[in-house]
Amino acid sequence: MKSFCTSMVTAVASLSFGVVAAYAQAPAPAAPTSKTLEQVKARGVLVCGSNTGLAGFGMPDDKGNWTGLDVEFCRAISAAIFNDPNKVRFVPLSAKDRFTALQSGEIDVLSRNGTWTISREADLGLLWAGVNYYDGQAFMVRKKLNINSALELSGASVCVQQGTTTETNLADFFRANNMKYEPAVYATSAEAVKQYDTGRCDAYTTDMSGLFSERLRLINSDEHVILPQVISKEPLGPAVRQGDDQWLNIVKWTHFAMLNAEELGITKANADERVKSTNPEIRRLLGSEGDFGKSMGLTSDWALRIIKHVGNYGESYNRNIGDGSRLKIPRGLNNLWNKGGLQYGPPVR
Amino acid sequence: MTDQVHQRAPRTPLLTGERIRSAIWQIALLAGVVWLAWSAIENAARNMQARGIPTNFDFWHRTAGFDINASLIPFSAANNTYGDAFYVGLLNTLLVGACGVVLATILGFLIGIARLSSNWMVGRLAGGYVEIVRNTPLLLQLLFWYNAVLTPLPGPRQSLELPGGVWLNNRGLFMPSPDFGAGAGWAGLAILAGIVGSIVLNRLSNRKRLATGKGFPVLFPALALIFLLPIAIFMAFGSPVTFEYPQLRGFNFAGGARIVPEFVALVLGLSLYTAAFIAEIVRAGILSVSRGQTEASSALGMPGGLTMRLIVIPQAMRVIIPPLTNQYLNLIKNSSLAVFIGYPDLVQVFAGTVLNQTGAAVQVIAITMAVYLVISLLTSAFMNWFNRRIALKER
């Protein structure tokens, strides 16, 4: 276990002095400096662990530009630090390698559909900075079966990828509802989808986001419908190493800033003009009032930078996986808390 | 370099005895190998412990939590353990191996004999089959049977109806399953007794023929023993067997017995592939029997079929058996390709799902390898015994 004490000792004091001067009522005499932030600044680029290729979440396009919800989250952090969304180097990681890469310091932040679980925080020494996509396992069936609920699937054959939690969630769901089914288990998700498409199975199951993404690969994507029941909790979000609280704060509040911006109606287009708003909440978020950014080791207009370069959470969602994309995933749980969803940004004050 | 060697003064070896020197080298080598193996195991165990990877077999008794679609023993996610999943996979592997070996042997002998046929058409057809099947990868053939033949079958609602209440669709073959009532067991015993009786009858007939040169007819009494007696007993109990027919309910057929398409694809692919190799072995075996044997047989007036069965094949067997054993071992080991078409054999269930769920990679892979080793050694031992039994007895 590497100790971060040395970095604390050699913390650059000038920054903390500035914070104390500007914000006299702050109880702590000195804000700790983030080692990761220092490294990122010195390097001039954020190293972000991303998916090897999942449409809508993290995937390089034909010109090699990375796009997707998780990718834009890294761009938002880059915008907050450098006022430039493109100072990011993406490291594509497989599910197997992703946590090791973060633990070993190869990447600064992991933004790659990682499910937040206790074992990953307690055993692997990681911390989740929030949930940027509430996912869950669901089923896809053919429209012509006229099924509206996963509870009507008794007796069905279900194609599933082997050796994942998906396989055990599937068994749990049918057992809990006292229904029979036949699992057809394949080594890869590509094979499982193909066998569902040829008609070997009545249903295909994986995470909801995966279903929307895989549906595009089917021969006739219009003939398939995704059932609304979600049979497992898969909160996906960005993760960081333990031991650097300030870096965790930066990653965490990047997400919350995007959520609050959506809630307050601040968009990529109107951000500059909303700086002059009289609404105190907007003024605090955009840095017209208060100086929270500096306490985190950033600038006071950190949130404005994020919104100007990347946009608010809703914009990023629509562009990558919502109505503005080919996936067209409904907001559902990922809507704002005041619109029936779970996305809730703590107040900036 | 060479100069240095030449300049060096000739040295007397420390230990002059040839045997002692070689023994020392062998002991050193053995110690080196043991040390290497021990340090590899120790190193793996330490690293596994450091990363929180299980190093024991505790997982064996934990609830599995996943389901398997084809099993010879009852298995459910809630009531069975990872250990039970191992037995499900093992039995499925043995089933595929047994079905594959039997089918491949029958097919291989037929094709091998056909290839030697004097009929041009039959010979060429068999030759073409052998060349095509032997020279394409087995995995491609398996994928062909599964993806190009079996899964494109019609869905459950458009199932093909076969005679006798049998249905075929892309979910498998659905057959009526017998439900035995009281008295059916006696009929079954009668069949067994009939078979044993027929064998005894055959032996007696052979012995009489050897002694007197003339046996007595066996075929009809044997048929009567095997069929008539059990049928009579069966009737006496009032036909105590009822059949449960598969019926289309909801998504698929329910009731009756079912063979999943993955099993059919695997057995078909393995036996058709191995049959091509066996055919060549059989051909080589037959050709190894001197032509004089066949000529002598026909000079005595024996018909062709009888010559093949009684003269040629028994002599060919001693050439056929050793390479045939290799083919059986190949077939059993190749059955692990089940992974690619989703049939729950030992590798797919145990070295796949169980390994992934438990994280006990080293233990699971070690057990799986040990199982294949044991199956192969047992098959090999049986075939060696069989080989000795049919070897030419010189009198």
> DSSP assignment of B25-91, as one string?
HHHHHHHHHHHHHHHHHHHHHHHHHHTT---SSGGGGSB-----SS-SS---TTT-BHHHHHHHHHH
- A163, B77: Cβ pair inside 8 Å? no
Residue A348 lies in a domain: no
* pLDDT (0 to 100) of residue A9: 37
CB distance B76 to B58 below 8 Å: no
| A-B contacts (CB, under 8 Å) | 85
Sequence-separated (6 or more) residues with CB below 8 Å from residue B235: none
Counted residue by residue, chain B has a size of 395
Per-residue pLDDT band at A41 (split at 50, 70, 90): very high
At residue B395, the pLDDT reads: 63
Determine whether the interchain pair A198/B342 forms a contact, defined as Cβ–Cβ distance below 8 Å: no
Among all residues of chain A, which has the CA nearest to that of B68?
A183
Residue B87 clears pLDDT 90, i.e. is over it:
yes
Q: Say which residue the tokens 């959520």 belong to.
A: A259
For A315-329, B127-141, B217-231, which range has the lowest pLDDT when averaged over its residues? B217-231
- Nearest by CB to residue B356, choosing from A155, A157, A163, is A163
**CB contacts, 8 Å: B67 with chain A:** 170-171, 174, 181, 183
Q: Which range has the worst mean pLDDT, A29-38, B63-72, B155-164?
A: A29-38
Name beta bridge partners: B169.
B172
Question: Could you give the C-alpha distances from A90 to A58, A73, A127, A193, A240, in angstroms and in order?
Answer: 10, 12, 20, 28, 15
B255 touches chain A (CB under 8 A): no
Tell me which residues of chain B, numbers 106 to 145, contact chain A at a CB-CB cutoff of 8 Å. none
Q: What distance in Å separates residue A187's CA from the closest CA in chain B?
A: 7
Based on its alpha-carbon atoms, the radius of gyration of chain B, rounded to whole angstroms, reads 29
Which residue on chain B is closest to A171 by alpha carbon?
B66
How close does chain A come to B258, measured CA to CA in Å? 12
Q: Do A178 and A283 reside in the same domain of the chain?
A: no
Q: Which is more confident, B215 or A91?
A: A91
> Do A146 and A208 reside in the same domain of the chain?
yes
C-alpha distance across the termini of chain B, in Å: 65
**Would you state the pLDDT for residue A273?**
93
- Give a yes or no: residue A347 inside a domain: no
* Interchain contact, B170 vs A200, CB within 8 Å: yes
Which residues 154-193 in chain B show a CB within 8 A of chain A? 155, 170-171
Place of tokens 């592997």: B93
Pick the CATH number of B82-136+262-390 from 3.40.50.1000, 1.20.810.10, 2.60.40.2550, 1.10.3720.10: 1.10.3720.10
Rounded to whole angstroms, the Cα distance separating A70 from A90 reads 11
In a domain, A178, yes or no: yes
Average pLDDT value for chain B: 87
The answer on A210 and A268 residing in a single domain is: no
What's the rounded Cα separation, in Å, for the pair A267 and A138? Answer: 32
**Average pLDDT of chain A to the nearest whole number:** 87
Q: Which of A192, A216, A232 is the last residue of a domain?
A: A232
Is residue B16 very low, low, confident or very high in pLDDT (cuts 50, 70, 90)?
low
Does the model's ipTM exceed the 0.95 cut? no
The residue among B278, B260, B258, B262 whose CA lies nearest residue B142 is B262
Closest-CA residue of A relative to B71 is A182
Of residues A286 and B254, the one with the higher pLDDT is A286
- Least confident range of B5-9, B237-241, B355-359: B5-9
Asked whether residue A57 falls in the same domain as residue A123, the answer is yes
Nearest CA in chain A to B347: A187
pTM over 0.90: no
CA distance A226 to A224: 7
Q: What backbone phi and psi angles, to 5 degrees, belong to B16?
A: -75, -35
Contacts of residue B59, Cβ cutoff 8 Å, sequence gap at least 6: B82, B354, B358, B360, B363
Q: Do A184 and B69 touch (CB under 8 A)?
A: yes
In this predicted model, which residue has the larger pLDDT, B38 or B56? B38
Which residue has tokens 């804000």?
A31
Banded pLDDT at B14 (limits 50, 70, 90): low
**CA gap A274, A286 in Å, rounded:** 8
CATH number of domain containing A22: 3.40.190.10
Find the mean pLDDT for residues A212-234: 89
Contacting residues of A for B353, CB less than 8 Å apart: 162-163, 167, 185
Instruction: Starting at the earlier edge strand, list the strands of the sheet with B257-259.
Output: B160-162, B166-169, B172-175, B257-259
Rg of chain A (C-alpha set):
22
Boundary of a domain, candidates A198, A214, A232: A232
> In this structure, is residue A346 part of a structural domain?
no
Domain edge (last residue) among A180, A197, A232:
A232
Task: Domain count for chain A, please give it.
Answer: 2
CA distances from A47 to A30, A101, A110 (A): 27, 11, 9
Same domain, A128 and A245: yes
Would the pLDDT of A213 be above 70? yes
Tokens 């009731």 correspond to B255
Chain B residues whose CB is inside 8 A of the A184 CB are 69, 262, 342
Q: Would you call B271 an interface residue with chain A, using a CB distance cutoff of 8 Å?
A: no
A113 compared with A39, residue with greater pLDDT: A39
pLDDT at B136: 94
The verdict on residue A189 lying in a domain is yes
Q: Residue range A270-290: average pLDDT?
A: 93
pLDDT at residue A22 greater than cutoff 70: no
Residue A27 has pLDDT above 60, yes or no: no
Residue B352 has pLDDT above 60, yes or no: yes
CA distances from B30 to A1, A44, A258, B35 (A): 39, 56, 66, 8
Give chain A's contact residues with B (Cβ, < 8 Å): 123, 145, 153-157, 162-164, 167-168, 170-172, 174-175, 181-187, 191, 195, 198-200, 202
B151 or B279, which is more confident?
B279
In this structure, the answer to whether residues A327 and A266 fall within a common structural domain is yes
Structural domain for A255, as ranges: 5-134+235-339
pLDDT at A319: 95
CB B344 within 8 A of CB B335: no
- Same domain, yes or no: A130 and A33: yes
Residue type, B199: I
Q: Could you tell me if A82 and A117 lie in one domain?
A: yes
User: How far, in Å, are A32, A286, A308 from residue A296 at the CA level?
Assistant: 9, 15, 19
Is residue A76 scored above 80 in pLDDT?
yes
Confidence of residue B222 (pLDDT cuts 50, 70, 90): confident
Kindly state whether residue A13 falls inside one of the protein's structural domains: yes
How many other CB atoms sit within 10 Å of the CB of residue A325? 18
* A177 vs A123 pLDDT, higher one: A177
Rounded mean pLDDT, B347-362: 85
Using a CB-CB cut-off of 8 Å, the residues of chain A touching B82 are none
How far apart CA B146 and CA B156 sit, in angstroms, is 17
* Closest CB to A154 among B67, B170, B250: B250
Average pLDDT for A309-324: 95
A126 and A260 share a domain? yes
User: Which residues in chain B touch residue A171, judged by CB atoms under 8 angstroms apart?
Assistant: 65-67, 77
Which chain B residues contact residue A195 at CB under 8 A? 151, 342
Domain match, A52 and A130 both: yes
Q: From the candidates A162, A181, A189, A193, which should be mutated to test the interface with B, based on the most B CB atoms within 10 A? A: A162
A214 part of a folded domain: yes
Interface contact B102, partner A, CB < 8 A? no
Instruction: State what percent of residues in chain B have pLDDT above 70.
Output: 95
Whether A183 sits inside 8 A of B339 (CB atoms) is: no
Candidate from A9-18, A93-102, A174-183, B133-142 with smallest mean pLDDT: A9-18
Q: Which residue of B has its CA nearest to A194?
A: B147
* Residue A206 · residue A139 · CB < 8 Å: no
| Record: contact A171-B355, CB cut-off 8 A | no
A344 belongs to a structural domain: no
Q: State the pLDDT at residue A11.
A: 39
Whether residues A182 and B252 touch (CB distance < 8 A) is answered with yes
Mean pLDDT to the nearest integer, B22-43: 93
